[in-house]
Amino acid sequence: MREIEKKAMARRLRKKLTPAEALMWWRLRREYGDWRFRRQHPVGPYIADFACVEGWLVIEIDGATHRTAEERDYDERRTRFIEAGEWRVVRFTNDEVERNRDGVRATTLGALQEQVERLGSE
């Protein structure tokens, strides 16, 4: 996908968030201190659900479409590609976002702290 097509696709996806993505976006903007996130952010040939550019963290929200072996293989390839750079990927299911607010927040903030420590020492 060309860069201009990828940006147009990201724009379209921003307007069509799933309920779990919309909830996560609301929380990211209000409950994560000074960390700034982008939604539907291009990373290489992929579009991440959410990205904290400063912390080099990608958050993926996986719904029912991520259950087949083929889809899980795609997600694994995608994660390997993204993490081959400086990025780290954390994944949550829709259910985790909707029912485990504190756990999702703790995992995300912990991953950001680890990224800051890792990138600061390189």
Task: Give the global pTM.
Answer: 0.85
Q: pLDDT by residue (tens digit) across 30-86?
A: 999 899 999 999 998 899 999 999 999 999 998 866 678 888 899 999 999 999 989
Q: pLDDT by residue (tens digit) across 92-119?
A: 999 999 999 999 999 999 999 999 999 8
The superfamily (CATH) of domain 3-116 is: VSR Endonuclease (3.40.960.10)
Task: Indicate the pLDDT class of residue 5, thresholds 50, 70 and 90.
Answer: low
Q: For the chain, which residues make up each domain, given as ranges?
A: 3-116
The contacts found for 71-79 with CB under 8 angstroms, 24 or more apart, are 78/46
* Strands in the chain per DSSP E: 38-43, 46-52, 57-62, 88-93
